[in-house]
Amino acid sequence: MTAKSLEDLEFAKVQAMIFAFTLSDEGRAFLQDLSFASDTDTLTERQEYISTLLGFFEQDGIPELYSFPSIEELMTELENPSPSLDGIQLLTLAQYITRSEALFTYFLQEPTKPLRFLIASMVADELRSIQRAIFDTLDDGGLVKETHPRLRPLFKQLEATRHRRSSYCSTFIQDHRAFVQSDIEALRDGRLVIPIKDGHKHNVKGYISSVSATGQTVFMEPFALVDLNNSVLLAQNQITVEIAKIIGELTALVKAQYDLLLHLQQQIGSADGYYAIARWAHESRATRVEHSDGRVRLINARHPLLKSKAIPITIEIPQSIKAVVLSGPNAGGKTVTVKTFGLFAVLNQYCGYVPVSEGSALPLYDAIYTDIGDEQSIEKELSTFSGHMGQIASILNNLCKNSLVILDELGSGTDPLEGSALAQAILSYAVQHSALTLVTSHHGVIKEFAYSRADMINAAMEFDEKSGKPTFTIIPNVIGSSHALATAKAMGLPSDVVTEAEELLGSDRIEITTVLKRLEEERQAVEKRLEEVKKKEKAAQDAQRDVDLRRLQLKQKEHQLRNDEVRSLARFTKKARQTLEGLVTELRSGEITSEKTKAVKSYLTDLDERIEREERAIEEEPVFEHPKTFEIGMDVLCGPSKREGTILSKEGKNSYLVAIGSMRMKLKASELYLPKTKEKEVRISYTAERRRAKSELDVRGFTLEEALEAVEQNIEAAILNNISTFGIIHGYGDGILSKGIGEFLRTHRSITDYRFALPEDGGMGKTYVFL
């Protein structure tokens, strides 16, 4: 496909619509580099991938898949001999692997499907090990967790050193109240200092670190405090060094699996690319295009850029036709039609799905050439005609036997006589050297030339003169009138101008235009009549089918009733024989009493009632009704046998795909019935595992997600155990747990109040919860 053709057909805009559904940078890059299929095997493979994903969408809906973070910068850094990754980059990589697992799981939910050739297996074990190591080591902010086994003792050491430093400061202030300026020590550049009154600085043996703005206070480090401050800084530095070692070890693990990461990126690119195409096909109601050997059939083609404003266009070109001359009025839809055809030919070879109705078919072209729009160039000093000729010259010099050529307004922009002759020669050359040529033109010579060739046809764009708008209906084997005078009149030209134009045109020309207009009116009347006849034929066929179906149902019901009657009669006869034998035995033994007589009469009465019930059962035939509306997931009775089924999807105007047990059948609406309504017994049961609630829940060292889950479980346990309050120890840290738990408790339905603990009970490192 030439860049000029893709630009004329606005393929990039449609490609951008597909890009919008991608989840990753790799998916967008895959789609950008995806070549146009030139053979049916390649295109069929792509169609199978997309078809499988569309099947998943129809069955389970659109999946909740998250976008992938970008790892391009990370991969570039890994190419260095000694890469240096930070915690955020490592965490991003772990998230990328997590999203990969979710996407692969979705693609491989049915291993027998074609997608198994796209994604051979799940994420490699080595990458999953890296993922677990990163999540176990780093918190949500990309920092090494304080609970890491190698950091925990260092943080304890740091906390102890800080405590000794704080204790020394407190003791010093208590013992030297006469010359300290404040009861609280100050922090300067990460070091604690004692505020001393300026007049007493000589009473303290130590270093002066700074002076207040007023000069009344000097901030000093007594010699003992200097050592304590240094100890704190050394402990902090030791932690920093250990964190750098941990990050470096994770980086080395990632670097060792660089090739696996490259392979993962490739798989994500292709999987995400086809996922995006499937999402676009689903949203635009695109269908799979059949392969053909030259025949063109686009049914209800809807230009994707026009979205809901698109008017469906149907284009059918037999295999024997090599060129189509499309004529009709200006603004009659000719250019839109040929651009739609050209775009769909490109889209078909890109992904095999286009916004058309089922049954559409297209051949594959080796090249697609277009000349659409104004080629005028001021910089190159080209007129409109010169620009067109330059583009057409390039097309004709590069034609091959399997090319598609689209030429809009061929022969325009110059002398009509010369333009017509040149257009005829260009069309003749294109027909000889390409597979199919589409031409739009107003030249009568071109239209007559198409009539003279068996491998060419004329086609006209239908135009509604009453509304002055095109209908976008293509009428084959008809020359389209330009409607120039009618358009000029509709645009408000003075009537004198239009009248003079008619006189200049000549009576013969006007008469031909009038004849064409009458022929068009008669054609529309015939089509309308044919449509009415088709509707009546269809109604008669539907009525006949209903009669045949009813007759079949009656026969089946009759057969079923006979079988049921025979079985019921056999059971009844056996039981009656046993009862009669018992009564006869009683009558024969001894004298006949009133009790024995009553027993015989009672039996005869029961016998009569049973016979009457059987007769009523045979006469009564259940009546099944057709649903008034059909919905996906609706339970129905299917076919003459009234088997229970569930509607899966709508397959046509009056057809539905129904699941009957493990089978899938396409049935018409007339073959579906409402099931008999049954009163359903509603039962409600509730079970709960009785857990023991904790009066103090310690979540220090947990991730926020783990902490919230533990809090939720303790709330449920407290409710079950009739406990009204408990405490949560979350520590100070960076405030992530404290803030996250507070937000969670604020919106929880079972919490009446929550607050930080008393200072002596943990202060801001602990939260009281009230249920």
Q: In what order do the strands lie in the sheet with 696-698?
A: 696-698, 725-729, 766-770, 753-756
For helices 258-283 and 25-33, angle between their N-to-C axes, nearest 10 degrees = 70
pLDDT at 679 over 80: no
The answer, yes or no, to whether residue 260 has pLDDT greater than 60, is yes
Tell me the helices (H) and strands (E) count for the chain, helix number first: 21, 25
Residues 6+ apart with CB under 8 A from 404: 342, 345, 365, 367, 368, 369, 434, 435, 436, 437, 438
Q: Which residue has the higher pLDDT, 356 or 517?
A: 356
Q: What's the pLDDT tens digit per position in 22-76? A: 999 999 999 999 999 989 999 999 999 999 999 889 888 999 999 999 999 999 9
> How high does pLDDT run on average in the chain?
83
pLDDT at 241 over 60: yes
Calculate the alpha carbon distances from 266 to 25, 28, 29 in Å. Answer: 11, 12, 10
Query: For 145-289, where are the E strands, in sequence order?
Result: 186-188, 191-197, 206-211, 217-222, 287-288
Name the β-bridge partners of 222. Answer: 206
Q: CA–CA separation, 230 vs 326, rounded Å?
A: 90
Reading the block at residue 75, the tokens are 């991969």
Predicted confidence at residue 357, as pLDDT, reads 92
pLDDT band at 681 (very low <50, low <70, confident <90, very high): very low
CA distances from 459 to 100, 337, 448, 542 (A): 52, 12, 12, 35
State how far the alpha carbon of 26 is from the alpha carbons of 13, 30, 90, 404, in Å: 19, 6, 19, 32
pLDDT at 381: 40
Q: For 141-163, what is the mean pLDDT? A: 94
Reply yes or no on whether the pLDDT at 406 is more than 90. yes
Q: Looking at per-residue confidence, does 323 or 386 come out higher?
A: 323
Measured in residues, the chain has a length of: 771
**Rounded average pLDDT over 74-94:** 93
Partner residues linked to 727 by β-bridges: 696, 768
Q: For residues 255 and 489, which has the higher predicted lDDT (pLDDT)? A: 255
| Alpha-carbon gap, residue 494 to 513, rounded angstroms | 21
Residue 354 confidence (pLDDT): 95
Q: What number is the average pLDDT over the span 411-425?
A: 78
Which of 288-297, 383-392, 681-690 tops mean pLDDT?
Answer: 288-297
- Give the residue carrying structure tokens 């991969």: 75
Distance of CA 344 to the CA centre of its chain: 22
Segment 423-446 mean pLDDT:
87
Res 542 pLDDT > 90: no
Of 76-90, 491-505, 512-526, 548-562, the poorest mean pLDDT is in: 512-526
Per-residue pLDDT at 165: 94
What pLDDT is stored for residue 687 in this prediction? 46
Looking at per-residue confidence, does 315 or 385 come out higher?
Answer: 315
Lowest mean pLDDT among 9-23, 295-309, 401-415, 579-593: 579-593
* Least confident range of 23-32, 206-215, 461-470: 461-470
Instruction: Give me the pLDDT at residue 510, please.
Output: 43
pLDDT of residue 330 exceeding 90: no
Residue 688 has pLDDT above 60, yes or no: no
User: Which of 80-89, 207-216, 680-689, 743-752 comes out lowest in average pLDDT?
Assistant: 680-689
